[in-house]
Amino acid sequence: MHLPSLLTCAVALLPFANSLAIQHPKSSDVTASTYNALIQAGYKTAYTLDTKNYDALGEVMTTDVVYDSTALGKYGGRSVGLDEVKTSVAAAFGDDLVEHIVTNIYIMELQTPTKAKVVTFCAITYLYWAPDALSDITKTYRIWYKCDDIWVLQNGDWKMQYSYVTNMGPGVEAPY
């Protein structure tokens, strides 16, 4: 088969790509709108954290949220309830610039029409823009981690109810 034939086949399959991408043996009832809403909720969570708009965390987390990042050692912790998460995150991020790079969000299982198990892989970089801090792991570092989350649908919005963070890298590392 030569290149034009391959391209013709690829173009012919494009309309089916989205429906194939969202199918999973345990979640065959995940619709495109549910899939897209969960993806957007994950990205909105990262955006809300990175812009330090902690008052908006209620748009992406339930009031009884549990966020457990104790696996990150001194860089993590466990918070229960939206107010405690807001306080903990604000204290952890301080005035530093933070960047979540969400590499993939995967719906493992739609447990009910309003509850989903989702796995998210992220890399987070804390940036402190001072020339003498670039190699200081206490001020400029990155962590590669995975979140095992439970998201629930509340009032039309998907919100994080539970998140367990696992460190996927060799440890916290200095990127420079």
Q: Residue 62: which CATH number?
A: 3.10.450.50
Residues 6+ apart with CB under 8 A from 43: 102, 105
31: containing domain: 3-167
Measured distance CA(77)–CA(99) in Å, rounded: 19
> pLDDT at position 175, please?
65
Instruction: List the structure tokens of 71.
Output: 């696996």
Indicate whether 28 belongs to any domain. Answer: yes
Indicate whether 174 belongs to any domain. Answer: no
Indicate whether 175 belongs to any domain. Answer: no
Indicate whether 107 belongs to any domain. Answer: yes
Indicate whether 133 belongs to any domain. Answer: yes
Which of the pair, 116 or 17, is modelled with greater confidence?
A: 116
Indicate whether 72 belongs to any domain. Answer: yes
Mean pLDDT of 129-148: 72
Measured distance CA(108)–CA(28) in Å, rounded: 11
Domains in the chain: how many in total? 1
Q: What percent of the chain has pLDDT over 70?
A: 73
> pLDDT at position 31, please?
82
pLDDT value at 10 more than 90: no
Number of alpha helices (DSSP H) and beta strands (DSSP E) in the chain:
3, 6
